Chains A and B, each alone.
Chain A
């Protein structure tokens, strides 16, 4: 496979109104497949959440990762995404989440580690423009002197790569620790301090509103790679709604690794 470049594509931006967690999971699958089938140009999607949730990784044990009783008590839905990686605690307005959908040729010949860093180089650039000394921390984190800012995950399907990232903008650490079970083994790693301590959100680091941070990120992407405003087609949305109902909102999928 020959390597392609960012500027070989007309990148599309999708930034829709708040959507439900299961629909976001479904949109990632549908849009990755649409880009793989070349029915949609490579796309950057910025997520807006309509309700709080925990998103667990494809290979995580539901029971081991989530205190489901606590999640229910707080009205927090639990969904599973199609990529690997760790659990994320989401409250609307507290995170900045985005997905990139691209032909796999964009990362052809790269190791996984190289491809993660490559797909987020524009974000490191944007964060530096916001005054944050940020860098890529293998395997899949964006970090800063104050702590972790974001976690990334990738998956590849049918010749396309999905790369999505959740950045902490603001965070209710106490609630997060009630809902997520973060094991001692994970905390034993020197590089992985307690989840509450190790996250340093963008709000305190930048003093900017969430919308301003997103605007800065999009401006950086536009300057580096070009970016055209776009929207989900009615067919894409219909397909994603159907998939949300038939897969991502079901106990069978969420509990596929019990």
Chain B
């Protein structure tokens, strides 16, 4: 599944993943945003891996935010924008 979201005032966030037994799997978040340090991208993918697909935006965003902690700096991307990209992949027609 593939979803894209251009964060208002930010950059493009892309979510690619499969859903197996109702859970997100093989999650790949990507885009033209900025993250410091760059290892934070893997932390985001790992945090989303295995989450119930139907947990909802708020929950997906909260899990990403908690995984990143206070020391990761984001520019043009946010946990909420990532959650929207995931949601769009799940509901391509929406």
Contact = CB atoms under 8 A, between A and B. Distances in A.
Contact of A139 (B5, B11, B36): B11
B5 A185 contact: yes
A147 interface: no
Interface string B49-86: 00000000000000000000000010110000000000
Contacts of A93: none
A59 B6 contact: no
Contact of A82 (B33, B38, B76): B38
A2 B41 CA distance: 30
A185 B75 CA distance: 19
A84 interface: yes
A108 interface: no
Interface string A147-185: 000000111100000000000000000000000000111
B32 A87 contact: yes
Contacts, number: 74
A27 to B, nearest CB: 18
A198 to B, nearest CB: 14
Contact of B32 (A82, A86, A112, A138): A86
B6 A84 contact: no
A1 B88 CA distance: 41
B36 A183 contact: no
Contacts of A85: 32, 34
A257 B26 CA distance: 12
Nearest to A83: B34
A140 B31 CA distance: 14
**Chain B interface, >50% SS class:** strand
Interface in B3-35: 4-6, 9-12, 14, 16, 28-35
A60 interface: yes
Contacts of A84: 32-35, 38, 75-76
Nearest to A182: B12
Contacts of B16: 61, 64
A138 B9 CA distance: 8
A3 interface: no
Contacts of A87: 32
Contacts of A139: 9-11, 75-76
A186 B38 contact: no
A8 interface: no
Contacts of A113: 75
Contacts of A24: none
Nearest to A111: B75
Contacts of B12: 86, 183, 185-186
Interface of B: 4-6, 9-12, 14, 16, 28-36, 38, 41, 73, 75-76
Interface of A: 57-61, 64, 82-87, 112-113, 138-140, 153-156, 183-186, 188-189, 192, 257-258
Given A60-B31, A185-B4, 9 more contacts: A57-B32, A82-B38, A84-B75, A138-B9, A155-B38, A183-B12, A183-B14, A184-B4, A186-B12
12 contacts: A58-B41, A59-B30, A59-B35, A60-B30, A60-B31, A60-B32, A85-B34, A86-B32, A139-B11, A186-B4, A189-B6, A192-B6
